[in-house]
Amino acid sequence: MALRQIRGQKDEILRKKSREVNIDDITLEKNQSLIDDMLETMYHYNGVGLAAVQVGILKQIIVIDIEDGKGPYILINPKILKTKGEKECDEGCLSFPNEFGKVIRPTEVQVEFYDRDAKYVKLKAKDLLAQAICHEVDHLNGVLFTDKVIPGTLEYVEQKQ
């Protein structure tokens, strides 16, 4: 496992659409290593989620851990099937260190994806997990949280030394 460099807000790759992973390739060593590296990187920077594009790889791979005792969640080729409700959420992003804003996200989502063992999964997620899934799926489509921030709510918070 290795720490990967997180691409910052000015990196053009963050605006590109990620490609689907061939289902037969999910279990290849290079993809398994990428998943492990993404997890290590996410945990190192105290993130809740990370999309492969944030480490410079245009593949539809997401890792999420909301510390609910059920994670980490590995979502490959995720597709949001349904959303329900909406709420205002505080949000940040590892590609935008120390920036936070309020966005509107669904309270529930139903998503289908493949896990790291190439097994098909359909998941109903609520609250923080739903928010994280939406945030990371946006990354796969070249959409950044700053695109969705409610005007006037984006703040830069100085990091404590």
Specify the amino acid at residue 86.
E
Q: Which of 91, 136, 155, 158 is catalytic?
A: 136
> Could you confirm whether 136 is annotated as catalytic?
yes
Cβ neighbours of 65 (radius 10 Å): 19
Residue 154 phi, psi dihedral angles, 5° rounding: -75, 125
**Token pair 């980490």: residue:** 72
φ/ψ of 3, rounded to 5, equals -70, 135
DSSP single-letter state for residue 160: P
Query: At a CB cut-off of 8 Å and minimum separation 6, what does 105 contact?
Result: 86, 87, 89, 91, 130, 131, 134, 135
Task: Count the residues in the chain.
Answer: 161
Q: Tell whether omega for the bond before 151 is within 30 degrees of 0, i.e. cis.
A: no
Would you name the residues annotated as active-site residues? 136
